[in-house]
Chain A
């Protein structure tokens, strides 16, 4: 298994509070991604990173920010959590071209009450 660790694995938080999810990799891969998974929508890209301090938005980036200060860590922050952000969040890593394979973490189940 690729060395990807997501933390926490489960979290319940209150509306309006900030939340940070962490993705840690031991593979030294250049690319890292954050997705959310909701029934009927599949995996939707929130933000991704193509190097240290280099990030870009995905299709559902509103209400989320990211940071990548080290190759191995990619943080996802919900600035002020809302109930619509209740979801399962997945981190993924990829070495980049020509290798197209992405490896996924086990997910973080976030509930905003």
Chain B
């Protein structure tokens, strides 16, 4: 089963609202990755985090690597219709094995 727990499973929000989603793991690790998948496409990397406590922004996106190294959150400010898609957290395990969470489905009402 999934080693990363993502929540919420889905969100249906009004355009302009802020969005927050998070990911937790039972084990610590050194890299958190956040990907977005548009309908019919493969996932694309949004943000990579490498240090506990690190806070990184990419436009309207902000992600943080938790101090305990077991969790991370992704925030989207002022959502727009093109934010719809599935957001995945991922971790890089030993041997460069990339493991994903189950994803958060985001829908935006305009």
Contact = CB atoms under 8 A, between A and B. Distances in A.
Contact of A104 (B42, B92, B99): B42
Interface residues of B, number: 25
Interface in A12-71: 31, 33, 35, 40-45, 48, 50, 56, 58-59
A56 B94 CA distance: 12
A105 B44 CA distance: 10
Nearest to A97: B96
B interface majority secondary structure? loop
Given A41-B2, A42-B101, A42-B103, A96 B96 contact: yes
B13 interface: no
A54 to B, nearest CB: 10
B97 interface: yes
B48 interface: yes
Interface in B1-40: 1-2, 6, 9, 31, 33, 40
B97 A56 contact: yes
Task: Among B41, B44, B98, find the residue whose CB has the most chain A CB atoms closer than 10 A.
Answer: B98
Nearest to A94: B96
Contacts of B78: none
A45 B98 contact: yes
Nearest to A90: B42
A84 interface: no
Contacts of A56: 95, 97
Given A43-B43, A107-B40, 14 more contacts: A31-B96, A42-B103, A43-B100, A45-B98, A45-B99, A48-B96, A59-B1, A90-B42, A100-B31, A100-B48, A101-B45, A102-B98, A103-B42, A106-B40
